[in-house]
Amino acid sequence: MKQNERTKGKPPRIYSVLDCICHIAQEKIPAAGEDGYCYSISEDSVLVGVFDGCGGSGAKKYPAYQEKTGAYIGARAVAGAVLHWFADEPHFLEHGRNSEAIKTAIGRSLTACKENAGSQGSKIRGSISKEFPTTAAIARCAVGAEGVSTECYWAGDSRVYLLDEDGLAQLTADDLDDLDAFENLSGDGVMTNMISASKAFTLHSRSVGIRKPCILFAATDGCFGYIPSPMEFESLLLEQLENARSLEEFEEKVRRELAKVAGDDFTLVGAVLGFGTFSNLKRNLGERLQRLRGHYLSGIDPENPESRRQVWNRYSRDYYRYYEK
C-alpha cells in the first residue's frame, strides 16, 4: 500500500486503525473486464470503491477509446473521478456535501469522456442504451475526535459491506425493484438507478459509526451474485481466512473460490480496521465462523430449497443490523 504525497513523513493518523488494504479481482474476459476500482489514504481517512460497468446498456464501442465499450470506460472514468475527489478533499465535509461533491466530480469526468468520444461509436439504439453506464459502491472511513466513522456512497447494485465478530452486514441498499439480498439472487431484479452520461442519477449516502474491529469492503455483484445466499458468501470469506497464513494468501484463496462460480467480472476492495495483526484478525473472525456454522449453515439442506430461505429469515436480522428499524 502506497502513501500519497500528503502523508509522506510521519505516519498518517488513519494508521492508528488501518491495518491494510485488500484487493481481490478477476476479469471474465482478459483485458476486456468492465469492473473498475480505487483505493487511497489521506492523513485521517481511507477510501475504497468499486464500479461495475453495465455491459448491457453500455455495450456501445468507441473508436476514440480503442474500441472499448461504454461500460468499460464508464467504470474507469468514475473510479478516477472519485480518486481525484478524495485527493482534493483531505477532510470530511458536512454529511451530505460529500455526496454532491463526488457527484459533481463524476459528472465532469463523464462529460469529458463524451466530448472526447465525439460522435464516434458503434450504432446501438434503444431505450436501454446509455453513455458510459456504471454502478458505484464507495466507502470512506475516517478517524476523528469521536472515534471512527464511515460514509458510504452508492448507485446501482454494487455494495458496501462490513464484516466483524457479529457477522456480515450490508451497509448500502441495492437500487433494485424491492428485492432483498436473498430474493435478488433468484429474482433478477431490474436496476432502477445507475451512473451514466445519458441521464440524471442519484448518488445515495449514509453514515455509519464503527465500534469494533472489522473489514470494511466494497464489492461488485460478481462477488456475491453467484453464491446461493448471503450467509454462504460470508462463509466463503471466513473459510478462506481460516485456511490462510497471510493476507496475500487469503486474497488468492478468495479469488480462486469466486472464480469457480462467478459468471462475470468480480472486484472486491476492502480496508482491514482495528485488528492490529493478521493473527488477531483470524482469531476474531474465526470465532464468528464457528457461530455461523452452528447457528445458520447447519440448517441448510441442499435437498430442500425452503430450508435456505428459513435460515435467511433468521440470518437477515443481523445482516441488516445497520439499517434503520
Residue 233, pLDDT > 90, answer yes
- Which residues sit opposite 272 in a β-bridge? 20, 215
User: Per the domain annotation, does 6 fall within a domain?
Assistant: no
CA dist list (Å): 257 to 81, 140, 142, 215, 244: 31, 27, 31, 19, 13
Q: What are phi and psi of 116, to 5 degrees?
A: -65, -35
The Cβ-side half-sphere exposure at 67, using a 13 Å CA radius, reads 2
Residue 11, pLDDT > 80, answer yes
Q: What is the pTM of this model?
A: 0.93
Average pLDDT of the segment spanning 144-173: 94
Residue 72 is placed in which grid cell?
468499460
User: Per the domain annotation, does 45 fall within a domain?
Assistant: yes
User: Per the domain annotation, does 168 fall within a domain?
Assistant: yes
pLDDT digit string (tens) for 192-225? 999 999 999 999 999 999 999 999 999 999 999 9
Percent of the chain with pLDDT over 70: 92
How many other C-beta atoms can be found within 10 angstroms of the C-beta atom of residue 196? Answer: 23
User: Per the domain annotation, does 141 fall within a domain?
Assistant: yes
Residue 12 pLDDT class (50, 70, 90 cuts): confident
What pLDDT does 3 receive? Answer: 40
User: Per the domain annotation, does 4 fall within a domain?
Assistant: no
3-state secondary structure of 315: helix
User: Per the domain annotation, does 181 fall within a domain?
Assistant: yes
Residue 61, domain CATH: 3.60.40.10
pLDDT digit string (tens) for 181-195? 998 888 777 899 999
User: Per the domain annotation, does 25 fall within a domain?
Assistant: yes
pLDDT digit string (tens) for 122-150? 455 555 789 999 999 999 999 887 788 99
Grid coordinates 473459510 are at which residue? 239
What pLDDT does 145 receive? Answer: 76
215/207 Cα distance (integer angstroms)? 16
Average pLDDT of the segment spanning 21-29: 97
Average pLDDT of the segment spanning 74-96: 83
User: Per the domain annotation, does 166 fall within a domain?
Assistant: yes
What pLDDT does 313 receive? Answer: 97
What pLDDT does 10 receive? Answer: 77
Segment among 97-101, 163-167, 311-315 with least mean pLDDT: 97-101
The identity of residue 324, as a single letter, is E
Segment among 6-20, 151-165, 204-218, 284-298 with least mean pLDDT: 6-20
- CB proximity list for 298: less than 8 A, separation 6 or greater: none
Q: What is the DSSP letter of 215?
A: E
CA dist list (Å): 160 to 37, 204, 213, 225, 260: 13, 12, 16, 14, 23
For 302, the domain range is: 11-319
Number of domains in the chain: 1
